Every structure is written in C-alpha cells, then in structure tokens.
C-alpha cells in the first residue's frame, strides 16, 4: 500500500499536498467555529462560495470570449473567495440591526438563509449549462480534486499565517470564542469578530476551489469536534484538531490510492468514524 | 473647564449618552469611580444598567459625551463578571483553564500565571476543583469560577453585572462577603449592577439610580432615600427610611 502510494507520488503530489494543507488550515480555523458552536456557518459559507463559482462559470461561458480573464481559474478563485468572505461577514453580523442596534433575526436564521440561497442559486444559475452544472455538482461532492502548484503555494502561505496567529493569540481567541463581552472588556479588539469571519471566508473560499464542499466543510468541523470529545480542556484542541485532520487526510491518501477511492470523500468518512468513536469513548468515560 | 478626574479616579464619564445603535437608553450620565469605592448601578429591569456598564467599559460606543479610564488605568487592571455563568457547558474545560483565560493581555510567566489561578480559585473556595470538568460543577460553583477569573487579574476595578441571578442564598452571601472584604481590605473599587436595594443599602458607598433614561449618581447615604427609590422603582420601599437592612 505504501509502495503504491510512493509510486503515485509524482503524479498526485500537488493534489495530496493541497489536501493536507487544506486539512491543516481548516482544522485550525475550525476550532474557533466549533468552540463558538457555529458549525452550520461553515456549510453556509461553502455554499455561498459555490454560488460565486456558479456565477463565475456563467459569466465566463455566456458573456466572455475564449481566453478572456472571465474564463480563467484565477477569476473563479476570486469570485469563490469573494462570495465566501461576504457570506462570512453577513453571518457574523446577523441581519445588521438598523436603527435599533439589535439584529432583526438570529444568527442561525441568517446562516440558514445564506446556506439555502447559496445552494439553490448555485444550481439554478447554471441549470441550462450541462458542463457548468457538472462542474458544480463535482464541487459539492468533492469528487475531483484538481490542485495546482499555485494552489499549494497559496495554501502554504495561508497555513503559515494562520499557525503563527493562532499560536500567538490562542488564549485571546479562545476567550473571545467563549465569552466575547468579557474578552472585549479585557482589551481584546471588538473587530475580532469581523476579522475572524473574513479569515474564515477567505480560507474556506480558497479551500472550496481546490477541494470542494464536502472535504472543506468536513475538515472545518470534524477534526475540531473529534478533538473536543477527546480533550479535557479547550486550549489543547488547537493542537489536537490539526493533528487529527492531517493524519486522517494522509491515511485517506494512502488507502484511497491503494483501493481506488476518492481521497476527499474517504477522509470525511474516516473523520466521521473517528467522531463516532470519540462520542463512544466520552460516553464510556461518563463525561 | 473642570478636570474629569483626579489622581484616584479609575473610571469616569461626563454627559454620557448610552444606548444601542441610534437608540439612546440613558442621557447625561456623569460620574467618577475612585479607588476604594463600592458603586451600585440600581434600577428596574430594562432601565439600561448593563448598557451603562458596557459603555463605561468601552464595549459599546457612547452615543454622546465621554467615558474614560483614569490616569495610568487600562483594561489590564479591570476585572469583569458577566451575568451568565452558563458559558461553555458544551465544551471541555476546567476551572483552571477558564481562570487562566481571564489573564489575557497580562504579561506573566507560566509560574506567575499558575500562582494567580490557584490563589483566585482558593479565594472563592474552589481550590480542590482546579481540574474538574466545568460542566460538572453546580450553577453556584460555575459562577464562583467566573468571579475567580476576574479576581485573578488582581484588578483595581471589578465590574460585576447582576451575578446573583439564579444563585442560592448561600452562594450569594459568600460572594457578597468576598466582594465586601476585597473592597474594605484591599481598596478594590467595585461597580456592581443590581436591582436589589437591600444589598446596595448594606454595601454601597455610592449609587447610580437609573430611571426613565436619567441617572442620579452620588454617595449612597445621600441618594438612597425613600422618595428617590420610589421614583426609581415606581413603588415605595418596604422600610420607611429607604435604607433597608
């Protein structure tokens, strides 16, 4: 199995590296999401990113000539990230508040709205474009990972920045995630909420373009959920979740390569299995 | 122009307008909190007590006027106890971790941090439960952890936002005695949000009475009289003097 993996390395190197970097990146950010108990936000942002990609595909095929910027991967990546960041900021802010300063609806309601708008819109926009529809459906199922060396470079930079920031400011981040009012009283910037949302949108948008929705959403929430059920304190989740994500993704690459399974889908299935085992372990320990 | 604060001032505001969005809840609030004072922000529900506190602390932007810390005072010397202690019941965490998180922004060595955490939990009687699951503690114990988180910062000013909601009498009494002792013995300034006039009468050096968007602030013995309390609460106080035991 290992030999087969090593033999395939030159062919799939970028795909596997990108998948491991996505796992590392999203699992780190995912700890913040899981601690805030906003798991569904990840799915909504990923759907919004898909809507951006659909719009990009539509623009590219309907209104621009062959070889134009609107038909390039760079343009699709930009709209994917743009829509993800906008969706993250909208879900973070709720519905605004208008003159009263109080949101007109709960954050959960806004998240549901973004998810459903992204899901329905992304398919309807390209419903009459069989090629585009196929692309989006593959994206939703993470059925084709097509990462390039450029994607690997971008993900490496994002991983490095996220690692540095999270490990330098992990206590402030955790306090903010648990109790944002106290964190602000104690000097943590109020803009942390918007910055965290924008960063979540950025990394999810980039991950969506390289890995698709199933893998991106899975790497965002499942490793942090497994860590939450295995750890006895919250800070160690920042170490445990990335470790779980990367090891699982590596195992999925090796097994998937040997057994001809899709690595992304296998990773998510393995993480689900780990989460079920962690729940069982926690129930057995009685905590 | 009169200066907003003297050397002992920790927190002050002048002509402050506090509210949410563009809706003003309180207008023309002026007060100064000095070292050793025990302030109570008193009023019925929804009069803006928590809004005033959060505006004073910079969490909400003032809609008018000025709120500022005194000379040499910053968020580093603040302690804050929020209303709700049911913060993280779904998370794996311990009293030790939660109290240590309260030290955010303070430059401490690992040993200093440990010493602060243990001393603070000892003050609230939870030294034996350092590494117990937070979710397995009782409501009263959880609130004591949150108080320990604030005390671990060794604050000059402790701000407490209705901490006794849903607590039993024993826990309430123990926490009040702790606050009073720290105020009396260490000169800790306290701003305490409450609607309980009896507790204020027993402990307050100063009060701010909130009613109908206005705030009367000053020494407790001047403001806690029957007429003012009746105006603030809409009902006459039980004791004729207004200073109920």
Chain A and chain B share a number of CB contacts under 8 A equal to 96
Task: Answer yes or no: do B114 and B169 share one domain.
Answer: no
In a mutational test of the A interface, the residue from B92, B132, B133 whose CB has the highest number of chain A CBs within 10 Å is: B92
Neighbouring-strand partners of residue B16: B29
Contact B131 A100 (CB under 8 A): no
The minimal CB distance from A185 to the residues B78, B100, B133 is found for B78
ipTM over cut 0.85: yes
A159-178: pLDDT as tens digits: 999 999 999 999 999 999 99
Q: Please list every residue in chain A whose beta carbon sits closer than 8 Å to the beta carbon of residue B54.
A: 181, 185
The minimal CB distance from A174 to the residues B101, B103, B105 is found for B101
Q: Give the total number of structural domains in chain A.
A: 1
| Last-in-domain residue among B135, B155, B175 | B155
Cα separation, A96 vs A282, in Å, equals 39
Task: Answer yes or no: do B133 and B66 share one domain.
Answer: no
| Last-in-domain residue among B117, B134, B155 | B155
Q: Taking a C-beta distance cutoff of 8 angstroms, is the pair B94, B132 a contact?
A: yes
> What per-residue confidence (pLDDT) applies to A3?
85
In a mutational test of the B interface, the residue from A181, A189, A229 whose CB has the highest number of chain B CBs within 10 Å is: A181
> What per-residue confidence (pLDDT) applies to B8?
85
Domain residue limits at A196: 2-285
The minimal CB distance from B101 to the residues A98, A171, A229 is found for A171
Contact A233 B92 (CB under 8 A): yes
Task: Answer yes or no: do B4 and B52 share one domain.
Answer: yes
Contact A186 B91 (CB under 8 A): no
CA-nearest of A237, A222, A167 to A23 is A222
| Domain membership flag for residue B82 | no
Q: How many helices (H) and strands (E) does chain B have?
A: 8, 9
Q: Give the total number of structural domains in chain B.
A: 2
> What per-residue confidence (pLDDT) applies to A114?
93
User: Given a cut of 80, is residue A152 above it in pLDDT?
Assistant: yes
- What CATH number has the domain bearing residue A221? 1.10.3470.10
Task: Answer yes or no: do B103 and B211 share one domain.
Answer: no
Please give, rounded to a whole number of angstroms, the shortest distance from the CA of B216 to a CA of chain A: 25
pLDDT by residue for chain B (245 residues), tens only, comes to 444 556 689 999 999 999 988 889 999 999 999 999 999 999 888 889 999 999 999 999 999 999 999 888 888 899 999 986 556 778 899 999 999 999 998 889 999 999 999 999 999 988 888 889 998 888 888 889 999 999 999 999 999 998 776 678 888 888 899 999 999 999 999 999 988 888 999 999 999 999 889 999 999 999 888 888 887 777 776 654 444 43
| Domain membership flag for residue B234 | yes
What is the overall mean pLDDT for chain A? Answer: 88
Buried b (16+ CB within 10 A) or exposed e, B5-30: beeebbbbbbebbbbbeeebbbbebe
Domain residue limits at B118: 88-155
Confidence of residue A270 (pLDDT cuts 50, 70, 90): very high
* Closest-approach residue (CA) in chain B for A182: B80
Task: Answer yes or no: do B245 and B192 share one domain.
Answer: yes
Contact A171 B100 (CB under 8 A): yes
- Look up the pTM and report it: 0.87
User: Given a cut of 80, is residue A60 above it in pLDDT?
Assistant: no
State what percent of residues in chain A have pLDDT above 70. 92
Residue B136 contacts A where some CB pair is shorter than 8 Å: yes
| Last-in-domain residue among B124, B155, B186 | B155
Q: Please list every residue in chain B whose beta carbon sits closer than 8 Å to the beta carbon of residue A224.
A: none
Residue B117 contacts A where some CB pair is shorter than 8 Å: no
| Domain membership flag for residue B44 | yes
Element (H, E) at B31: strand B23-34
Phi, psi of A11 (to 5 degrees): -75, -40
> What per-residue confidence (pLDDT) applies to A143?
64
Q: Taking a C-beta distance cutoff of 8 angstroms, is the pair B69, B48 a contact?
A: no
> What per-residue confidence (pLDDT) applies to B4?
55
| Domain membership flag for residue B83 | no
Q: Please list every residue in chain B whose beta carbon sits closer than 8 Å to the beta carbon of residue A102.
A: 20-21
A93-117: pLDDT as tens digits: 764 444 445 566 788 899 999 999 9
Task: Answer yes or no: do B170 and B148 share one domain.
Answer: no
> What per-residue confidence (pLDDT) applies to B239?
56
Neighbouring-strand partners of residue A150: none
In a mutational test of the B interface, the residue from A36, A99, A186 whose CB has the highest number of chain B CBs within 10 Å is: A186
| Domain membership flag for residue B199 | yes
Residue A235 contacts B where some CB pair is shorter than 8 Å: yes
Contact B76 A187 (CB under 8 A): yes
């Amino acid at each position: 199995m290992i030999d087969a993996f090593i033999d395939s390395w030159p062919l799939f190197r970028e795909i596997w590296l990108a998948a491991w970097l996505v796992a590392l990146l999203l699992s780190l950010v995912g700890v913040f999401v899981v601690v805030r108990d906003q798991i569904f936000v990840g799915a909504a942002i990923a759907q919004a990113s898909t809507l951006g990609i659909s719009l990009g595909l539509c623009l590219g095929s309907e209104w621009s000539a062959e070889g134009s910027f609107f038909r390039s991967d760079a343009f699709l990546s930009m709209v994917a990230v743009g829509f993800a960041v906008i969706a993250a900021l909208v879900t973070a802010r709720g519905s605004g508040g208008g003159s009263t300063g109080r949101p007109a609806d709960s954050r959960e309601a806004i998240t549901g709205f973004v998810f459903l708008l992204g899901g329905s819109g992304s398919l309807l926009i390209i419903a009459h474009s069989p090629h585009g529809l196929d692309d989006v459906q593959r994206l939703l199922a993470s059925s084709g990972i097509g990462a390039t060396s450029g994607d690997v470079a971008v993900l490496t930079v994002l991983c490095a920045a996220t690692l540095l920031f999270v490990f330098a400011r992990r206590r402030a981040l955790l306090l903010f995630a648990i109790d944002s009012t106290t964190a602000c009283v104690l000097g943590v910037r109020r803009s942390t909420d918007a910055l965290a949302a924008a960063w979540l949108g950025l990394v999810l948008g980039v991950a969506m373009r390289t890995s698709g929705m199933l893998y991106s959403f899975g790497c965002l929430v499942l490793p942090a959920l497994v860590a939450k059920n295995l750890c006895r304190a919250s800070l160690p989740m920042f170490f445990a979740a990335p470790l779980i994500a990367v090891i699982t993704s590596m195992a999925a690459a090796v097994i998937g390569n040997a057994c001809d399974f899709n690595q992304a889908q296998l990773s998510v299935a393995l993480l689900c299995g780990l989460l079920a085992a962690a729940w069982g372990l926690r129930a057995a320990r009685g905590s | 122009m009169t200066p907003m604060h003297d050397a002992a001032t920790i927190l002050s505001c002048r002509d402050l307008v506090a509210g949410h969005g563009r809706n003003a809840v309180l207008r023309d609030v002026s007060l100064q909190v000095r070292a050793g004072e025990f302030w109570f922000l008193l009023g019925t529900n929804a009069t803006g007590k928590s809004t005033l506190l959060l505006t004073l602390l910079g969490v909400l932007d003032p809609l008018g006027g000025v709120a500022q810390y005194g000379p040499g005072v910053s968020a580093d010397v603040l302690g804050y106890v929020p209303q709700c202690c049911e913060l993280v019941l779904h998370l794996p965490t311990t009293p030790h971790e939660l109290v240590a998180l309260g030290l955010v922004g303070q430059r401490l060595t690992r040993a200093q941090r440990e010493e602060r955490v243990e001393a603070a939990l000892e003050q609230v009687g939870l030294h034996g439960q350092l590494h117990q699951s937070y979710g397995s503690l009782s409501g009263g114990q959880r609130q004591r952890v949150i108080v320990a988180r604030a005390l671990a910062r060794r604050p000059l000013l402790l701000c407490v936002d209705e901490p006794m909601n849903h607590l039993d009498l024993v826990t309430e009494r123990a926490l009040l005695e702790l606050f009073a002792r720290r105020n009396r013995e260490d000169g800790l300034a306290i701003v305490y949000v409450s609607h309980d006039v009896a507790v204020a009468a027993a402990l307050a050096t100063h009060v701010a009475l909130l009613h109908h968007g206005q705030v009367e602030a000053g020494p407790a013995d001047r403001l806690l009289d029957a007429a003012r309390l009746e105006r603030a609460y809409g009902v006459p106080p039980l004791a004729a003097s207004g200073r109920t035991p």
